[in-house]
Every structure is written in C-alpha cells, then in structure tokens.
Amino acid sequence: MRTSIISIFILTLCSTAFSQCNQYYQLSEGSEWEMESYNAKGKVTGRQTQKVTNFSGGANSFAATVQSTIYDKKDKEVMQGDLEFKCENGTMMVDMRNFINEEQMKAFQNYEMKIEADNLEIPNDLAVGQSLKDGSVTLTTSNSPIPMTMTVNITDRKVVAKETITTPAGTYECFKITSNSTVNTKMGIGMTFNFTTIEWLAPKVAVVKSESYRNGKLQGYTLLTKRN
C-alpha cells in the first residue's frame, strides 16, 4: 500500500514570479518537483515526479494539468497519468485521484476504471485551530475477473501548529495539518483500513513532508526531495 494513502499525493508545487490565487500552491507551466516515500525504518519505497504541462489563469483563479509519474522502490515506472488542479477566489481544490493506492491502480490498469471524487480544499489563509473541508474518492472497475470498489474518505482535517521542517529540498516554515483517512476496499469481501496522517504545508511549495500512522504506529512518510 502507498506509504501514506493521502499524503503522497497531496502535491508540492513550485513558486512563480507573480502573485497567484493561493499562496501555498503557486505554479507555472513547466514547473517540476519530486517526492520520495519511505517506510517506518527510513528505507525508500518509491518516488513520485510531477510536472505542470498546462497552466492558465492569473491572480484570482487558475487551472492546471499536472503529469504525475509513480516509481516503485526499484525505480521502475508503475504508472503515469494527469491530475487536474483548480483555484478560485483563494481556495485551492486538490485532485483526490492522487490519493488512490498505486498498487491497486497497477493491478487493474488493464481494465475499465471509473473514478468519482469530492476534492480537498486548501484556503489561502491558514491559521492554527482551523478546520478544513473533507474529501473523498471512489474507484470502481469493470470487465475485470473480480469487480472491485475502493473508497478513500479524508475527514477531521485540522491545522494544529506551525513548525519548521527540513527536507532534502530545503528548510521551510510550515503549518502542521492532521487528518483521518478511511480506506474501504471490496473485492468479493470488504476490508477497511483506518489511518491518521500529518502533513506540513509551506507557502509556495505546499506539502513538504507527510507521515502516516495506523493504530498509533508510524507506517511511512514522504519528503519533498527536488523542485524546479
């Protein structure tokens, strides 16, 4: 399972030379960044590269297409696809499709898939004590040997602190955001997994670090490693 169901893919975006709709997610066409995933013992389990391939908009709103490529721990490409990002009146909408387990995607990539999502939102002005909008995504397959449905719900999102975080890409002043995730998978029988996630969000670069916990134990984490 992805090191953190929701975090690897909450995207880290690069700064631009002009004011944009949201101070945390600032992008331009051609911007690139990379996140690495680690298990609880600090060993690399994979990485994800992302590049803005299309951007339109300005100070009050924008729309962007981001090409996302996922690699496994042997640095072999697992899958590639496009994610859509929108910002309106200071609120950033983050594509929930990025939070689907890549192992599930890989297993069913040869079958027809349908994805429905209620995207996350990041307001322009964060403050400690603030509650944020929930998000969800549902993946269903057809024409597969065993029909599969997977749903990820992200709830109880709260801004709990401000902290300084250092990653291979630099040192950042961040807001610390906690949330709960429930993953329901049905393939003949149903399975449910519950996670707690911590994310550190910095102006101009968005998420620079995330950690995933299950039953209070660290399962893995991600770090921003490169950005251009």
Q: Which domain holds residue 181?
A: 32-227
50 in any annotated domain: yes
12 in any annotated domain: no
103 in any annotated domain: yes
Residue-level pLDDT at 209: 97
CATH number where 127 lies? 2.40.360.20
59 in any annotated domain: yes
In b/e form, how buried is each residue of 122-148, taking b as 16+ CB within 10 angstroms?
bbeebeeeeebeebbbbbbbeeeeeeb
Gap between the Cα atoms of 3 and 12, Å rounded: 16
134 in any annotated domain: yes
Residue-level pLDDT at 103: 59
74 in any annotated domain: yes
DSSP strand E in the chain: where?
A: 32-39, 44-57, 61-72, 77-88, 91-94, 112-118, 120-122, 131-132, 135-142, 149-167, 170-187, 189-202, 206-214, 217-227
Is the per-residue pLDDT at 80 higher than 70?
yes
111 in any annotated domain: yes
**HSE of 17 in the Cβ direction (CA atoms, 13 Å)?**
1
Is the per-residue pLDDT at 221 higher than 50?
yes
pLDDT cut 90: percent of the chain above it: 59
Give residues with Cβ within 8 angstroms of 64, minimum separation 6: 27, 52, 54, 55, 56, 57, 84, 85, 86
Is the per-residue pLDDT at 7 higher than 60?
no
Determine contact, residues 14/26, Cβ cutoff 8 Å. Answer: yes
11 in any annotated domain: no
Residue bearing the bigger pLDDT, 10 or 25: 25
Is the per-residue pLDDT at 69 higher than 50?
yes
Is the per-residue pLDDT at 122 higher than 60?
yes
Beta bridge partners of 79: 70
Q: In the predicted model, what is the mean pLDDT of residues 129-135?
A: 96
Q: What's the total number of domains in the chain? A: 1
In this prediction the pTM is: 0.81
Q: In the predicted model, what is the mean pLDDT of residues 144-164?
A: 91
